[in-house]
Structure 1
């Protein structure tokens, strides 16, 4: 059973998510929070598998709450959920340790599926925010003139795959792009995570941006 805490200052949003979750047999809501501080407290007290975290909440916002939850070093993963016009915060949320970034106009079933993905140890970013993510990062950081030593441990093929990950491609899409089997792509992903000491796919995405492997949209 996947145990979830819902953190959103809008009771209607929490109620809608809980309604969908209660119809499942593998996910349950174990707590609800109306602000970030309460979300942090519940995460420490209940140790849920996933916190679904709104960004804009009174007092402690979702980004700071995410940072505190992930810094505690427990088993809890965070899925950040916000409205599309706030997705300029995606980089800060992922930097804070979120394992997923979703938007509220996604179907509730898709949000539920994302909770399952993150609980299983994977990471997920809504495709609709990938382009904005690149733009937001580019606005904050100077373009690297050369790759840092962090990429010296990977092969050219692994670098190519890391670039595609940074562009937001899924494993099947990477397989199609490079004419590889999905199993081979998964093997490369495992190697990249190990070599770059990355927690999950999201950290690989961030690394691809920081190393200048991703072209910023014009």
Structure 2
């Protein structure tokens, strides 16, 4: 995703000490650089529009505009939107699920260690897999809002696209999906693009959330 060899990051958290700690960890890594900070959601939106980073680490609870609304506004900005990772204290918080529904690429616990933080930023920057799939599945199981009727996109998925979506939900990369389905990586990339287009999702996380709310993942699991 990065426009060069370095992933550019904006930190949004109302605690300066948290931002300082995150900056120290990320700036120490090759290929990662923190280009800006924000102390609330409104400032985060402004800084992202000004700096156009690749990744945003977004606290959920902040003054003026919370992380969910800030994520919505950032992703609604014309042009290439950054990937947003929500940073939270509680992994089962309904606010985290709402942030994923708003378009966040994944979430990270504040108690995560430095290696996990760096891995998460690198992972969403390349966007080839779902960030912490088991945790996303647990959130969806707890907070998903089941549709009263199948969405229009569901019957439009081909059989192979359904296979790909199911494997996306398990957190497999394109290469792993290709090996599982015994097809080429380019074919998988095409199927993933079709899934995102048909579900109207911005990325893999959005497609998986849509699949849960359509009842697709549960149905597939029940039939496995």
Gaps of 5+ in 2: 1-5
Note the aligned Cα RMSD (angstroms): 2.7
SS in 1 for 2:202: coil
CA distance in structure 2 between the aligned counterparts of 1:72 and 1:123, rounded to whole angstroms:
24
Cα deviations across residues 81-103 of structure 1 (Å, max 9, x unaligned)? 11134532232101222122222
Gaps of 5+ in 1: none
Cα deviations across residues 30-80 of structure 1 (Å, max 9, x unaligned)? 111111111111111211121110101122111111111111124322111
Q: Does 1:149 align with 2:155?
A: no
Deviation at 1:205?
A: 0.6
Residue 53 of structure 2, aligned match among 43, 48, 52: 48
Alignment CA distance shift 1:193-1:127 (3 Å): closer
Q: Which residue of 2 aligns with 1:204?
A: 207
- Matches for 1:1-218 after TM superposition, within 5 Å: 1-75=6-80, 76-85=82-91, 87-122=93-128, 124-138=130-144, 141-142=145-146, 144-145=148-149, 147-166=150-169, 168-171=170-173, 180=182, 183=185, 185-215=188-218
SS in 2 for 1:214: helix
Aligned pairs, number: 212
Q: TM-score, normalised by structure 1?
A: 0.82
Cα deviations across residues 145-194 of structure 1 (Å, max 9, x unaligned)? 5x33212322123213323433x332376567x56468365553244234
SS in 2 for 1:12: helix
Assess if the C-alpha contact under 8 Å between 1:6 and 1:52 holds in 2. yes
Q: TM-score, normalised by structure 2?
A: 0.80
CA distance in structure 1 between the aligned counterparts of 2:46 and 2:128, rounded to whole angstroms:
24
Alignment CA distance shift 1:71-1:214 (3 Å): same
Assess if the C-alpha contact under 8 Å between 2:123 and 2:131 holds in 1. no
